[in-house]
Amino acid sequence: MKTRFGVARCCCGGFCEDCCNGNIPSEWDVEIEFTDSACDVCDEFQSGTFTLARNFELCEWFYDDTPLSPPYSVETCAPAYVAYSDDVINGRRIELRVQCVSETQYRISVLFYTGRTYQYSTEKTKSFGVDKVVASFNGVYNDIIEFSKLVDYTDFTCDETTDYELPFASITLQRRFFIQSDVPLQPMLLQEFQFRKTTLPIGEFYGLSAGWYMRPICEPPANVLITGVP
């Protein structure tokens, strides 16, 4: 039997090849529907259909509206709370990749990045078994949500795909903020940690390793829909 990489191998074996076996879309449409969680604008601002352009000659497509110059905010996180008007979503990026992981299968993945910052806010922790609210400042949040699926390449033609469902795979919540310290020579304490979850709903949960309650910027859906645009 001749191997795939042998000199005399059959040239018409039909193996999975990057990128999309030649059926390369110029764009992908990604439809996603978030619900509100830490921010109040998820079901409006964060939801909808986003068009992803191809990243040069690479086998990936992206959408990015993260500002590169002031003002760095994209949308107010909770518009009704005037006291926290500096609490903003400061960036969104969506990436889609189609990669061969074997001779017969693609791995299709969508990554949705959301950034959030605030100047002053509060965080919730637990002290001696009792919930406690702590004043915080200079918060930096990042949520990275992945939707992915393995498909047989013979059943998936990229530029003919319409409303194909990719299921939720995971979310990584990265958190960084300062709190006031009781130590005179150390007035500020940096809190920095991350947590990964693979089940829905995310909701609010207590990160035992970090000692703080966490919830996503926006609650992710069970799936996204992707459409290849020739």
Q: Across all residues in the chain, what is the average pLDDT?
A: 88
Between 199 and 208, whose confidence is greater? 199
Query: Whose CA is closest to 134, among 18, 213, 202?
Result: 213
Q: What pLDDT, on a 0 to 100 scale, did the predictor assign at position 71?
A: 77
CA dist 83 and 17 (Å) reads 53
Mean pLDDT of 113-140: 92
**Could you tell me what percent of the chain has a pLDDT over 70?**
91
Contact between residue 170 and residue 195 where contact means Cβ atoms under 8 Å apart:
no
pLDDT tens digits for 137-172? 999 999 999 999 999 988 999 999 999 999 999 999
Q: What is the pLDDT of residue 7?
A: 37
The residue written with tokens 């966490």 in the block is: 214
pLDDT class for 96, splitting at 50, 70, 90?
A: very high
Q: What gap in Å lies between CA 32 and CA 43, rounded to an integer?
A: 10
pLDDT at 85: 60
Tell me what pLDDT residue 223 has: 98
The arithmetic mean of pLDDT across residues 46-71, rounded, is 90
Per residue in 67-93, is it b (16+ CB within 10 Å) or e — as a string?
Answer: eeeeeebbbbbbeeeeebeebbbbbbb
Question: Cis before residue 218, ω within 30 degrees of 0?
Answer: no
Looking at residue 10, its pLDDT comes to 29
The upper half-sphere exposure of residue 32, i.e. CA atoms within 13 Å in the direction of its Cβ, equals 30
Please report the pLDDT score of residue 84 as a whole number.
54
Is 25's pLDDT higher than 60? yes
Which two structure tokens, joined as six digits, stand for 27?
């764009």
172-202, pLDDT tens digit by residue?
A: 999 999 998 777 767 789 999 999 999 999 9
The 3-state DSSP class for residue 82 equals helix
